[in-house]
Structure 1
């Protein structure tokens, strides 16, 4: 198991500092808002994967 806090682990994996700041800010949102953001990100990733499949 990796040591360090989740924030430290994320900082070590995310090279885009703007994304890291956004994710940190999202963590402070109410649970309902966090769930909305997660759903939006999930939908965006699914759309991109489908686009990649359709173009190959």
Structure 2
């Protein structure tokens, strides 16, 4: 999931360089959402690993 967040961030940067503001804003929004989901799942996985021991 982190991979997809980075991909959308790169797409947003490329779109911003070429002047596509709407596409860049959408890609940044998607990247932010994916990054937050990744962080939540990573923390949940870490906590579950601690609880099982």
TM-score, normalised relative to structure 1: 0.51
Q: Which has the higher helix share?
A: 2
CA 1:45/1:36 → structure 2, altered by over 3 Å: closer, same or farther?
Answer: same
For structure 2, which runs of at least 5 residues remain unmatched after alignment? 13-26
- Deviating above 4 A after TM superposition, structure 1's stretches of 4 or more consecutive aligned residues are none
Q: Work out the number of aligned pairs and report it.
A: 37
CA 1:46/1:39 → structure 2, altered by over 3 Å: closer, same or farther?
Answer: same
CA 1:43/1:24 → structure 2, altered by over 3 Å: closer, same or farther?
Answer: closer
For structure 1, which runs of at least 5 residues remain unmatched after alignment? 1-18
Superposed CA RMSD in Å reads: 2.2
TM-score, normalised relative to structure 2: 0.53
